[in-house]
Each structure stands twice: as C-alpha cells, then as structure tokens.
Chains A and B, each alone.
Chain A
Amino acid sequence: MRSGLGVKAARIAIVVALFAIWEILSRTGIVNPRLLPSASDTLATLGDLLQRASVRKDLAVTASEVVTAFALAVPVGALIGFLIAENRYFAEVAKPLLFFAFSIPKSIFLPMFILVFGVGFAQKVGFGFFSTIFIVIMSTTTAVESVKVEHLTVARSYGATPMQTAFRVYLPSMLPVLLEALRISMIFNLTGVILAEMYASRDGIGHQIATWGENFQMKQLLAGVVMIAAIAIAFNELVRWVETRCSHWRT
C-alpha cells in the first residue's frame, strides 16, 4: 500500500503525540508518576535493561521458545491444512470441528499444559504450538482453496508434472495468503508463549514482565511492554514488506 507523505507524517505525529501526552501526564503529576513513570524515564530504563545480561538471557529464552513453537506449528499445521483442503470428505468432516476448536480461548488450557509438561521449555513451546496451529491449519486451507481450477487446467493442458504444478501453480497462487497467515500465526504464537511465561515460568521475558508487575517496578514493567511491542511490530512489518513484494500482482 503506497501512502502519501501527508499520511505518513500524520502517523508519526500521532505516535509522537502519544509519547508526549504520556510524558506530560507523568511530569505534571496529573497521573501519579509512581503508577505511570514518564516516557523518557521508561525509555532510559529500556536502554538500561537491554544492557543487562540477565534480561538478554530472558530474551534469548523467549526467542528460542517462540522460534521452536513456530517452527513446529507452521509445517505441521500447513500439512494438516493441505490434506484437509485437498480431500473433500476430510474437509467436510474436519472444517466445522476446526472452527469449534478455533473459537475456544486457548488460555483456559494453560493449567493443563503445566500439569502435563511441568514448568519449563516444553510447557511454553507446547502452549505456543497449541495457540498457533489452528490458525495455521485454517489459513493453509484458505490458501489451497485460493488456487484457481482454471490455472490447474492450464498447467495440465501444457503437460505439467505434479512437481511443476506444485511449484509453478500452487506455490505462487498460495504465497500471498501464506505470508499473511505466517504473520498472523506469529501474533498468536508470541501471545501464547508470553502468556505461558507470565503464568508459570522461571525465566523468559514474559516471566520478567510478570515479576516486575508484581513488585510494582513500573519503569521496568513499562520498558518491558515497549520492548515486546517493538519486537512484535518489527516482525510483523518485515513480513508485510515481503508480502507486498511478493504480491504486487494482486489487485
């Protein structure tokens, strides 16, 4: 999406204004600075935290959990989604069930993950996987269904092998939907892992944020929020950038 300079400027202005309001509310004491430390203090704290070895270690733990859960959920979910989309009977049976499963808030299962996996890496990865896989399955199904029959017939009429059909028709047809799915899946994945960390964990940035909150360390807490937000936005924007590059032909 191309947007004019004016629109971009307005966006930046809104973000700057939000930080300015935050700063003013805190500095003037309209909101108790103990509850809402100023934006500048928070950012300074963030810089501070990023220097700390312990925080970096927490970030590394969270990152490894997120990546593992994602790396498991995406191929498994994509495979299931593909099988469902390709088999009409399977699709008819499974689709409503998937919608049921998708509609249930995943967080209510968290205690069970703790009971089954204990507190640790497996519990967080497991819950991240569980939070992500349904959206991956459903998106893949949509992606496969976005492949046009006409295009498959064209490929067949020119003698395409199954491999050629997969790489020259299925993949490019599905790519825009898949990238979007990847992006949305990551949001679910990150939410799942961090929630699991906040609920019961010994390490990870989610655990840290929960601890700072409980100890009323507002500066650290807000710094942590800003940090996670920035990471999530950065990943999202990266995929969106790839998306626009890969789907310039979409109208």
Chain B
Amino acid sequence: MQPLANITPLKPAGAIEVRNVGQVFKTTTQDVVALEDVSLDVKPGRFVVLVGPSGCGKSTLLMMMAGLRQQTSGTITISGAPIPEPDPNRVGVVFQEASLFPWLTAEENVEFPLALRGIAKSDRRTRAQDALKLVGLDGFGKRHPHELSGGMKQRVSIARGLVQDPPVLLMDEPFAALDEQTRMTMGDELLRIWAATGKTVVFVTHSLTEAVYLADEVIVMSPRPGRIVDHLQVPLPRPRTYEMLSGDTFGSLRDRIWRHIRKSA
C-alpha cells in the first residue's frame, strides 16, 4: 500500500515559481514601485543568479522567496506552496556579512535553527558537525566568529543555511564583503557544495564575473521599477575553471549583462 503516492500532486521539491509579482512601498509623499510584474521559474537543482544595479529590487525579491517579506501583488511558490512566512524546512537563507551571532561558537551558530525547534542537543551537534564538514570547516566548530576569517565566517553561514537540509538555498550577496581572492575561492567552494547537495540556489550579487562564473542562468534586473530585462543561459560546462574567465563565451555573456546595466545606470 502506498497511501502517500496519490495525494502529492505538488511540484517537485526545490522548484520556485514567481508569477506577476509586484511590490509597492508606500511613503508619505508617494508610492514607490520597487518591483513590477516579475515572473520567473527556477527548476529544482538549478543555480540561478540575480544581478542588477542597486535599487533594482533583487534583494527584495529574494526576501520574498524567503518569506521574510510579502509582495503587494502576484504569487510566489516554493516546492509548489506559497510562502507567507519563513519556513526553514523549505528554504535556507545565507545573508551578507556579520549575520553570525558573535556570542556563539561556529558549531552553536550552525545549531541555532535546530535549537529553535527544540531538537535534542546530541542530535544537533552531530548535524552541525556534518554541515561544517560539508563546508570544509571540520575542526573549527569550537571557535567564535571573531576567531575566523571572513571566508570561514561565510562558510559557517552556509552550513547554517544547509543544516536543516532544505531543498532551496537563498543567498543575499554572501561574498560581497570578502576580498577578491577569497571571493573566487568561496565561489568554487560554493559550486562544490552545490554539486554535492543538489540544492536549488538563488544567488544575488553585484559582480558580473561572479554571476556568470557561478550560474546556470543569470536574471538581469533594471532599477525602479524593478523588472526582469534579460534571462541568460550560461552554456559553460561544469566544473567551472579559472581559465573560462578569459574565454569568448564568458566575455560575451558578461558584456551582454553589462550593456543592460549600463543602460539603466
């Protein structure tokens, strides 16, 4: 008997559907349209990057996918269901710098989402250690954030996002504060982790190079009102290598994105 088989017509885990989403901020003097009619489909397991100039609403869109903010119009579904509030079982979020709790050790930071759900200490510890191992921080669990480098801190953040094994990982400019070398290394690390876990990743960045290097698909957005102006497939093979950065495919993709952004800047 398979009772579950005939009651789950849901979209596969990890699919993201954005339909005609709009966001209007009401201020005392005027209404600001932050997003206008944004529609987008992300298939499970894809690595999608959102780029665009400041104020294009890419982070806002990401926060809506995380359930941290509600759109004024349109619908967003994650794994087939709307997301009216944060749901750590469906979505893990990795924020910009400094989102780790400085009073907790790396391990305790990763355990934080589990602790909120009252999961037993020993179970928590095992899962946190597994997540830290996955991001290459085996043996650093007892350190506090101030004892870790910028790159290591972001690895801890990623481990925290992955610890509940959600099918979707949303990343809001996670490497923005890192220096160039660390940023490249972290990109490779992220791709390795992504390949190992098969998560759907939506990644917001300012960096065009980072966007093309990491993505299966790049979504380019325009500033107010935020709209999708281009949706590129990146045909570069995986694993991505440093040599690809100087190739023609890479260059022409980056140029295409840059032309969109220059127009709106």
Contact = CB atoms under 8 A, between A and B. Distances in A.
A208 B260 CA distance: 81
Contacts of A169: 101
A89 interface: no
B235 interface: no
A158 interface: yes
Contact of B66 (A157, A164, A249, A250): A157
Interface residues of B, number: 23
Contacts, number: 56
B188 to A, nearest CB: 25
A160 B116 contact: yes
A156 interface: yes
Given A150-B98, A158-B113, A160-B116, A251 B86 contact: no
A202 interface: no
Interface string A152-171: 01111111110010001100
Contacts of A168: 112, 115-116
Nearest to B85: A159
A164 B118 CA distance: 11
Given A158-B86, A159-B116, A153 B95 contact: yes
A160 B87 CA distance: 10
A60 B88 CA distance: 55
A157 B98 contact: no
B68 interface: yes
User: Chain B: interface secondary structure?
Assistant: loop
A157 B93 contact: yes
A153 B93 CA distance: 10
Interface in A59-92: none
Contacts of B121: none
Interface in B188-225: none
B101 A156 contact: no
A150 B103 contact: no
Contact of A249 (B86, B113, B144): B144
Interface in B87-144: 87-88, 93, 95-96, 98-99, 101-103, 112-113, 115-117, 144
Interface of B: 66-68, 85-88, 93, 95-96, 98-99, 101-103, 112-113, 115-117, 144-146
22 contacts: A150-B98, A151-B101, A153-B99, A154-B99, A154-B112, A155-B116, A156-B68, A156-B86, A157-B67, A157-B86, A158-B88, A159-B85, A159-B113, A160-B116, A164-B116, A168-B115, A168-B116, A172-B103, A175-B103, A249-B145, A249-B146, A251-B146
Interface of A: 148, 150-151, 153-161, 164, 168-169, 172-173, 175, 248-251
